[in-house]
Structure 1
Amino acid sequence: MRKCSVILFIATLIFGSQSVYADITVIRYPGPAAKTDSHFEYIHELLAEALTSSANKYQLLPSKATMQQGRAVHEMKYGTGEVDLLWSMSTDEREKVLIAIKIPIDKGLLGWRIPFVISENRQMFKTIRTLRDMENYSAGQEQDWPDVKILEHNGLKVNTANSYEALFSMLEAGRFDYFPRSIMEIWKEQELHAGKNLVISQDIALHYPAAYYFFVTPSKRRFAEDLNNGLENMVRNGQFEKIFLKYHQGAIQRAALKQRTVLELQNPFLNPANMPLSRSELWFQP
């Protein structure tokens, strides 16, 4: 039944009680700007499970236009109806204008980054021991990702692109030196870009406090409550952890974080006091 729910979601799924189909609320999420979304199946299975017991009924649809994070946040902030639901890295600013469902769906994994480099530079970070050692190297990021300011705040050079897909070609062309990606993303991305001259560095990891939340537009408070309640139920009954490990346990093992030099970064854009850090069951620990 759970697998069927995910498939139906992709084709446009109605969540909630199946006995009555009146009063269905349409919830729109951003049409992906990238050709592929490495989180797609995981996110949709979480949503399917979280909303399956809701007494209210929801139809989840992509936005009519593809859009990047910055535009999606803008549309949700002003309640245009173009986007109602977003999953992204949190910042204090986003939490001020949107409803943050404060169950980190990544368990903090988005803050654990390992880099793509071109194959000729696979040994480039072999002698790196501190952040200062990274000052001569430039990272690539999409221009409206929160990571840009986090990396720059920690003294790292960043080159930006207008689109996610362009970053892989830019790295291959030498426009920057490395492309740091979350350990929950990078292995799938390696498969999807197997034709490019890129490898995953085995020597370092960047880490900063991060939380990957569902965000809901303020005009859809009932949906936000139903989603929050569903996710909390999943945490209590173990279903959240089960689905998390289903999609990410292999990536965690492959990352071999204990064998890497970990460079700790500050995240000045997310106040730790606003994070549910006291709930250890919500966070990954290497």
Structure 2
Amino acid sequence: MKGCCLRLLLLWCLVPACQAVTLFTYRPGETPQDVRTVYTTALLELALEKTRPQYGDFRLASAPAMNTARALAELKKGSHPNFMLKMSYNPELETAGMLRGKLDVDLDIIGYRACFTRTGLLPSLTQVQNLTQLKQFSHGQGSGWVDTQILEANGFNVVSVGQYESLFRMVATGRFDLFCRGINELEGEWRAHRQLPGLAVEPSLLLYYPLPRFFYANPRDADGLKRVEEGVRIALADGSLQRLWLSHYGPSVTFAKPAQRRLFRLTNPMLPPGLLPAEQPRFDPILGDFITPPPLPPTGRQ
């Protein structure tokens, strides 16, 4: 009887249920209304599924809700296992020794910005024809967001705010003039906050500055980041990432009507040359299509 039980146990351990399961942690939205992380979590799951044959099973767990400043602190401390934090390129993270994936997982779309404002300011904003005129208007941004440094480097007055939800209330009540968002975020945020008195989507302006978004990880999670990066490459090569991108971001890009706006190009002085690989795909919202270089080969395990 004991021998039979032992044989059954050995057979059970040959099936996937007995394989090690790797835990990955994702960052949830700051509030129930915050949908910014939905695509990122879905992309993380897609990348892990793509690499299941090579790396085995996985489990996704949510970190506590937190703002960007706290998320960065948790990343540096290594508080959560395989905490994959999607962030804009940040030289401070590089200096702190954090590891960064090589691919812009948002495909350049977050750098195209349309703005929330207050209804009373709409007539003045529709008259803006150049950057000098645009710089007369103040901006609100979140604490810890690199957008603050980018906008200030381009000559804008920026108010930094600790709580994401407060930004919508403050722009609607005139604490600052513009709260500019990636056009992939605009529709979801408008639906979540359009009940705020005085809040409006400015319909005529489009800002652009290069703002690649990468997965960052604590150095102890180098193997986890390597797996995620490999999965992203596979998903780009077979087109599943682009399909996921369109399902999450496409409606908001359409809602923003980027081709009907006046485009103002800004610089991002924090980006070093050669940061992105030559094969990096991107989405051009003016053309309304992906600009896709030759296919990305899988990196393979080393």
Alignment of 1:157-236 (within 5 A): 157-196=157-196, 197-236=198-237
Deviation at 1:280, TM superposition (A): 5.1
Name the CA shift for 1:153/1:83 in 2 (closer, same or farther; >3 Å): farther
Alignment of 1:1-286 (within 5 A): 19-52=16-49, 53-54=51-52, 55-63=55-63, 65-81=64-80, 84-96=83-95, 97-196=97-196, 197-276=198-277, 278-279=278-279, 281-284=281-284, 286=286
Deviation at 1:283, TM superposition (A): 4.3
Deviation at 1:81, TM superposition (A): 3.8
Deviation at 1:82, TM superposition (A): 7.1
CA distance in structure 2 between the aligned counterparts of 1:171 and 1:240, rounded to whole angstroms? 34
Contact 1:123–1:201 (8 Å) recurs in 2: no
CA distance in structure 1 between the aligned counterparts of 2:162 and 2:138, rounded to whole angstroms? 17
* Number of equivalenced pairs: 267
Deviation at 1:89, TM superposition (A): 1.5
Q: Once the two structures are superposed, what CA deviation does each residue of 1:25-80 show, in whole Å capped at 9, x if it has no partner? A: 322233543333323332222122211132233322222x4322223223322434
Name the CA shift for 1:119/1:103 in 2 (closer, same or farther; >3 Å): same
Name the CA shift for 1:263/1:223 in 2 (closer, same or farther; >3 Å): same
CA distance in structure 1 between the aligned counterparts of 2:267 and 2:81, rounded to whole angstroms? 34
Q: Once the two structures are superposed, what CA deviation does each residue of 1:63-112 show, in whole Å capped at 9, x if it has no partner? A: 2x432222322332243447722112222332442222222221111111
Unaligned runs of 5+ residues in structure 1 are: 1-17
Opposite residue 124 of structure 1, the aligned amino acid is S
Q: Once the two structures are superposed, what CA deviation does each residue of 1:136-191 show, in whole Å capped at 9, x if it has no partner? A: 21111112111011111100011121100011111122111111111011111100
After the TM superposition, which of the residue ranges 35-44 and 112-121 deviates more from structure 2?
A: 35-44
Deviation at 1:250, TM superposition (A): 2.3
Secondary structure of 2:86's aligned partner: strand
Name the CA shift for 1:135/1:41 in 2 (closer, same or farther; >3 Å): closer
| 1:6 aligned partner | none
Contact 1:140–1:178 (8 Å) recurs in 2: yes
Contact 1:101–1:224 (8 Å) recurs in 2: yes
CA distance in structure 2 between the aligned counterparts of 1:264 and 1:84, rounded to whole angstroms? 33
Contact 1:21–1:57 (8 Å) recurs in 2: no
Secondary structure of 2:206's aligned partner: strand
Contact 1:50–1:231 (8 Å) recurs in 2: yes
CA distance in structure 1 between the aligned counterparts of 2:273 and 2:144, rounded to whole angstroms? 22
TM (norm. structure 2) is 0.81
Secondary structure of 1:180's aligned partner: strand
After the TM superposition, which of the residue ranges 142-151 and 127-136 deviates more from structure 2?
A: 127-136
Opposite residue 155 of structure 1, the aligned amino acid is G
Contact 1:75–1:82 (8 Å) recurs in 2: no
After the TM superposition, which of the residue ranges 27-36 and 111-120 deviates more from structure 2?
A: 27-36
**Once the two structures are aligned, what percentage of the paired residues are identical?**
25
Opposite residue 160 of structure 1, the aligned amino acid is S
**Which structure has the bigger radius of gyration?**
2
Secondary structure of 1:132's aligned partner: helix
Contact 1:72–1:83 (8 Å) recurs in 2: no
Secondary structure of 2:274's aligned partner: helix
TM (norm. structure 1) is 0.86
CA distance in structure 1 between the aligned counterparts of 2:223 and 2:109, rounded to whole angstroms? 28
Opposite residue 145 of structure 1, the aligned amino acid is W
Secondary structure of 1:66's aligned partner: coil
Q: Once the two structures are superposed, what CA deviation does each residue of 1:206-262 show, in whole Å capped at 9, x if it has no partner? A: 110011122121111111111111111111111111111112222222322222111
